[in-house]
Amino acid sequence: MLYGRAMTNTLTIALAQLTQSVGDLVANADAMLEWRDRAKGADLIVYPELQLIGYPPEDLVLKPALVERAGIELQRLAKATADGGPAMLVGTVVAAHGVLFNVVAMLDGGEITAIRQKRELPNYGTFDEKRLFAPGPLPEPVEFRGVKLGLPICEDVWFPFVTAHLKAQGAEILITPNGSPYEIGKDDRRLHQVCAARVQETGLPIAYLNRVGGQDELVFDGASFVMGADLTTLHQMPDWEEALLITHWEKRDGTWHCAPGDIHALDPHPEDTYNAMVLGLRDYVNRNRFPGVVLGLSGGIDSALSAAVAVDALGADRVWCVMMPSRFTSQDSLDDAAECARLLGVRLDSIPIEPAVAAFDTMLAGVFEGRDRDLAEENIQSRIRGVTLMGISNKFGPMLLTTGNKSEMSVGYATIYGDMAGGYSVLKDAYKTTVFDLSRWRNDAVPSLGLGPSGPVMPERVITKPPTAELRDNQRDDDSLPPYEVLDPILHGLVEEELSVDQLTARGFERDTVARIERLLYVAEYKRRQAPPGVKLGTRNFGRDRRYPITNAFRTL
């Protein structure tokens, strides 16, 4: 049988926007075959970057057994194309000359007909590809049915010289398989700053394919699209959902044209951020086989939003909330927690911690004698709550969901082995002002991915009352920290922008305040190293994006 040689002026290309399971090669291959069946009639079906092994594979890809099994599964996929159905463009890993390559393989007529290696290996932010892979040469087009396809893999399309080389070598259509994680505002960068620039430079149409789903701290939002040579967006696939797009191409006057189709509206902000939290938590809990989650519901805004996200991700029957009052807990907090639970339809138990607090006071009385009550006693309360929740988690199986936000984690306003104890955090990359914005939005709207109620999820007072940890009498967050509308822009400058004290002072912030926040940011690094994973939302999360030394004497002032 001849394949890939007959000239054609028409092509039907299917784009499979799929989720994945990192390391489950058989399941990933089976899913690709299932979606191939749905694409009957297409000439070619394209899958996201590294779809066979999952992305990012991290050091898992260094295991020779995984690479060997990836080769076996790739051969299985190739043999499936002997049935005369769609050829497949599959992202995987191959070993050659003692190194690993991130590749796409063309499978057609029962064989592997071409392999192209990724050249530009990202090594910033969440990416560590230079640790794992060797760069390939400038890629050559792949001839398919007489058509030269340029196949820049993910990061390759961000570099104009890669697509310029493909164009110079005769590429007629650009198809770029991606594993591009969600970040706030990234849709616009992909479409207008990157792909539109490559189209304008080369004069070639482009099909951009991304995956969906959560993988540890990363969430992939899909939002794949096709752009014509005239910079028109011809297809826009949905965000957050698996989907199959069948595109029809025709060569006219020497240029390939894609017939236009549906343009799905992508989530506006902050719905996109909320859905990222929902999908990240859902996939983390389900893929790690937890029956559900348990969390402390304090009556404050952080735990209220965390509970809402959990219900939207998993359903109310898989979310267990626990109120753990102390003598410092106000009646407003008790009432607000109860109302949150009622609105969300979740189980709420009350476990007073005073007996444990009294026991610790008695245990430590001799050692603490002569010392005033201070932060140590406050932290003991938080740690008692952590132990209580972990006890429920161990006894019944739900994962403990922590509720701290990025503002608190930045300055160390969190108790290690206390409110930081747990398996995952949906607010890890959300500043406090973002928490307020998301809470207001969720009270007025329903997320497209949500399984929760259509009405409000928390009483208005939770959003309007001053934030407090309630670990001592009359405590408020702004007793220890600047107001969040001041703190968060300073933190954004220090964390996301890497600005100095002088640079932030030039923006109008009080110099001593900025210097104090910078010091708190650095000295809390040891806490963040012991924090659970959480959903990445912005450009610089605490985790894969930002890796600072714990022992660090540098200050910009």
**Window from 133-147, 192-206, 475-489 with minimum mean pLDDT:** 475-489
- pLDDT-above-90 percentage for the chain: 84
Q: Given a cut of 70, is residue 4 above it in pLDDT?
A: no
Cis peptide, bond prior to residue 270, ω within 30 of zero: yes
Global confidence as pTM: 0.93
pLDDT digits (tens, 9 = 90+) for 284-324: 999 999 999 999 999 999 999 999 999 999 999 999 999 99
- State the Cα–Cα distance between residues 158 and 55, nearest whole angstrom: 19
Other beta carbons within 10 Å of 3: 17
Length of the chain equals 557
Helix 432-444 / helix 484-495 crossing angle, nearest 10 deg: 120
- State the Cα–Cα distance between residues 52 and 20, nearest whole angstrom: 8
CA distances from 121 to 50, 62, 431, 448 (A): 13, 16, 30, 34
Cis peptide, bond prior to residue 355, ω within 30 of zero: no
E strand map for 198-346: 206-209, 212-215, 218-221, 225-227, 233-236, 243-252, 255-258, 293-296, 319-323
- State which amino acid sits at residue 348: L
The continuous run of DSSP H or E covering 440 comes out as helix 432-444
For the chain, how far is it from start to end, CA to CA, in angstroms?
Answer: 72
- State the Cα–Cα distance between residues 376 and 382, nearest whole angstrom: 10
Q: Given a cut of 60, is residue 407 above it in pLDDT?
A: yes
- Please compute the mean of the pLDDT values over residues 63-76 and round it to a whole number: 96
Strand partners, 296: 322
- pLDDT confidence of 2, banded at 50, 70, 90? very low
CA distances from 382 to 385, 409, 471, 472, 526 (A): 5, 15, 8, 12, 18
Just list the catalytic residues. Answer: 49, 118, 154
Strand partners, 215: 218
The continuous run of DSSP H or E covering 508 comes out as none
- Please compute the mean of the pLDDT values over residues 149-174 and round it to a whole number: 96
- State the Cα–Cα distance between residues 323 and 333, nearest whole angstrom: 9
The percent helix, strand, coil of the chain (3-state, each to 5) is 40, 20, 40
Beta strands 87-96 and 44-46: pairing type? parallel
Mean pLDDT, all residues of the chain: 93
Distance from the Cα of residue 55 to its chain's centroid = 12
Of residues 279, 263, 260, the one with CA closest to residue 271: 279
Other beta carbons within 10 Å of 244: 16
- Contact (CB, 8 A) for 324 and 469: no
Helix 432-444 / helix 301-314 crossing angle, nearest 10 deg: 50
Find where tokens 């299932």 sit: 34
Distance from the Cα of residue 140 to its chain's centroid = 32
pLDDT digits (tens, 9 = 90+) for 271-286: 999 999 999 999 999 9
- State the Cα–Cα distance between residues 526 and 523, nearest whole angstrom: 7
- State the Cα–Cα distance between residues 82 and 75, nearest whole angstrom: 11
- Please compute the mean of the pLDDT values over residues 381-402 and round it to a whole number: 96
Contacts of 163 (CB under 8 A, 6+ apart): 150, 152, 156, 157, 171, 174, 198, 201, 202, 204
- Please compute the mean of the pLDDT values over residues 145-159 and round it to a whole number: 96
**Window from 207-211, 301-305, 468-472 with minimum mean pLDDT:** 468-472
- State the Cα–Cα distance between residues 207 and 15, nearest whole angstrom: 8
Find where tokens 């994680």 sit: 181
- State the Cα–Cα distance between residues 304 and 459, nearest whole angstrom: 9
- State the Cα–Cα distance between residues 504 and 204, nearest whole angstrom: 43
pLDDT the model gives residue 557: 78
Strand partners, 382: none
pLDDT digits (tens, 9 = 90+) for 349-391: 999 999 999 999 999 999 999 998 888 888 999 999 999 999 9
- State the Cα–Cα distance between residues 184 and 438, nearest whole angstrom: 13
What is the full DSSP assignment across 262-301?
Answer: -BPPPPPTTHHHHHHHHHHHHHHHHHTT-S-EEEE--SSH
- State the Cα–Cα distance between residues 400 and 288, nearest whole angstrom: 13
Q: Given a cut of 80, is residue 88 above it in pLDDT?
A: yes
Q: Given a cut of 90, is residue 191 above it in pLDDT?
A: no
- pLDDT confidence of 6, banded at 50, 70, 90? low
The domains located in the chain, with CATH, are 10-253 (3.60.110.10), 271-475+523-529 (3.40.50.620)
45: helix, strand or coil: strand
pLDDT digits (tens, 9 = 90+) for 501-524: 999 999 999 999 999 999 999 999
- State the Cα–Cα distance between residues 433 and 488, nearest whole angstrom: 7
Q: Given a cut of 90, is residue 186 above it in pLDDT?
A: no
Helix 301-314 / helix 271-287 crossing angle, nearest 10 deg: 60
DSSP code for 546: B
What is the full DSSP assignment across 152-164?
Answer: --GGGGG-HHHHH
Other beta carbons within 10 Å of 92: 25
